[in-house]
Structure 1
Amino acid sequence: MSYHNLRVVIDDRVAWVTIDRPPANALDQATLRELEALLGEMEENRQVKVIVLTGAGRFFVAGADIKEFTSLGGDEAEALALAGQQVFQRIESFPKPIIAAINGMCLGGGLELAMACHIRLAAAEAKLGLPELNLGIIPGYGGTQRLPRLVGRGMATRMILTSEMISGDEAARIGLVEQVCAPDELLPEARKLAGVIAEKSGVALRLALAAIQASTPHPQEAGFAREAALFAEAFRSEDRQEGVAAFLEKRKPQFHDR
């Protein structure tokens, strides 16, 4: 299958997937659909045992495509959140290991995508964060559920409420990523890790991932549903309209708390 926003290269049992949607690899709905189609293709491909996901240029994924937000009402926003969550939940429960190689800016939906992957490597100079509150909305693709589980409730609350960005080094310190690398060593380290994993039994990999997934506190589906509903409520606010407009106009938002 051919993709418009993804580049896929299969080499020595590893599928290298690069998100390539200039200028910032924004995660629009079309790219989400391509990711979902890719998962179906990779699951059936017996030549692929590991997937490495990265971004083109200076970006992993800079976030969602904010231009799409201008036409969404609350109901449409909830449907968008649920659709994105479904793709990311499939990544998290995928029967083959998925490694995120975070090469640059990894914000909003980009960080939510990375958090759904099984293992995360980051360049030291990468920037990671969930800046949705700057737009008058909240994370909607699982960010409020996965971030506390990875870094703890307090740190996650701070990151989400302040919209602060952290470096790859800081992300490693707090447990958001498993390894930090110099920029030119990121992909070689990802290749080394993927190669070690690809030598294992495909059956054992699938069963190990399923067992690890079973360790997650349940029911997380209830948390995802609540997040989507609250994401929709944020979209019904005047502050969301102001936040998105300010972002597109490259100015500081003036929120009126309604």
Structure 2
Amino acid sequence: MTMTAVPLGTEKMIAGIDQGVGWLTINQPARRNAVSLEMWQGLADACAVFQNDSTVRAVVIQGAGEQSFAAGADISEFEQQRANADQKRRYGEIAARGHKALAALDKPLVAMIRGYCIGGGLAIALTADLRFATPDARFGIPAARLGLGYDYPGVAALARLVGPSCAKDMLFSARQLDAEEALRIGLINRIVEPTAIEATTREYVEGVAENAPLTVATAKAALKMFERYTDQAGAADIATLVDRCFDSNDYREGRRAFMEKRTPRFKGE
């Protein structure tokens, strides 16, 4: 492998280009690759390089280490950076740059998932075109255990992929799904043993990189257009409800309980 490094403004995101494939690594293994604000910016910067480099024909995103793709947002930042609806909006603007950069890629994006893929980590994986996972991978959205709101675009992306019924199950229960269940409901595309997942993913994306790039880009654009046919008339109302969650006492209780490693006591206020 002859990786050409892509310089970023943070060491917590690593990017490089090899054999026509852009590789992006979420690099905070000590915190299970929880994504911080600086990492969202690094992700956006890397995607801009990949998008504008004509030699890059496909992109892979992964988590550093063997234990986690990304275990959500870095909750340790929430008390200072995301403690209410106003802060959530500022935080969201930075995070949105990363999400938009991933979504704007006109090149196939594959998420290579080992271990935990939770909350914001799952939201990142949902922006990928394909998701390959190891048998020990775990998927979930713990918003209901923290008292925060899950924004409409993420809910819509999940529901389009697994259907409204399975999306409701995941959001209402906040439970974690194993790889077999994730494959069964269509959340992931295939399960690959840990010893083979990098080679399998590499073989796949290098094969894609050899295909006609205009054809592949056109297919991706057409499928994006298909996915956009979702009624968004009520999206502003959902955003209001999400803000209510972030301004609630329950959200404050959820943060405290997480930091204190105890069960939260929610009151619906």
- Shorter chain as normaliser: what TM range? over 0.9
d(CA) in 1 for partners of 2:240, 2:34: 23
Q: Structure 1 regions of 5+ residues with no counterpart?
A: none
d(CA) in 1 for partners of 2:70, 2:152: 14
Partner residue, 2:140: 129
> 2:88 matched to 1:77?
yes
Write out aligned runs for 1:24-103 (5 A). Answer: 24-57=32-65, 58-71=67-80, 72-103=83-114
Contact 1:145 1:223 (8 Å CA) reproduced? no
Partner residue, 1:211: 222
> 2:152 matched to 1:144?
no
d(CA) in 2 for partners of 1:32, 1:55: 14
> 2:131 matched to 1:120?
yes
> 2:196 matched to 1:185?
yes
**CA 1:9–1:223: 2 relative to 1, 3 Å:** farther
Q: CA deviation at 1:83?
A: 4.3
SS in 2 for 1:184: coil
Aligned residue among 28, 40, 65 for 1:21: 28
Aligned residue among 5, 26, 42 for 2:12: 5
Q: CA deviation at 1:89?
A: 3.7
Contact 1:136 1:240 (8 Å CA) reproduced? yes
Q: Which has the higher contact order (CA 8 A, sep 6+)?
A: 1
Tell me the amino acid that sits aligned with residue 11 of structure 2.
H
d(CA) in 1 for partners of 2:235, 2:198: 32
**CA 1:177–1:29: 2 relative to 1, 3 Å:** same
Q: CA deviation at 1:90?
A: 3.5
TM-score (norm 1): 0.93
Partner residue, 2:173: 162
Deviates more, 1:43-52 or 1:84-93: 84-93
Tell me the amino acid that sits aligned with residue 39 of structure 1.
C
Q: CA deviation at 1:128?
A: 0.5
Q: Please give the per-residue CA displacement for 1:98-141, whole angstroms capped at 9, x wherever unaligned.
A: 10001110000000000011111111110001011100112238
**CA 1:178–1:225: 2 relative to 1, 3 Å:** farther
Q: Please give the per-residue CA displacement for 1:33-65, whole angstroms capped at 9, x wherever unaligned.
A: 111111111111122111100001211000111
RMSD: 1.9
SS in 1 for 2:29: coil
TM-score (norm 2): 0.89
**CA 1:212–1:116: 2 relative to 1, 3 Å:** same
**CA 1:10–1:226: 2 relative to 1, 3 Å:** farther
Runs (4 or more) in structure 1 with deviation over 6 Å come to: none
**CA 1:190–1:141: 2 relative to 1, 3 Å:** farther
**CA 1:223–1:123: 2 relative to 1, 3 Å:** farther
Contact 2:134 2:197 (8 Å CA) reproduced? yes
**CA 1:232–1:129: 2 relative to 1, 3 Å:** same
Q: CA deviation at 1:213?
A: 0.6
Number of residue equivalences:
258
Q: CA deviation at 1:251?
A: 0.8
d(CA) in 2 for partners of 1:230, 1:201: 44
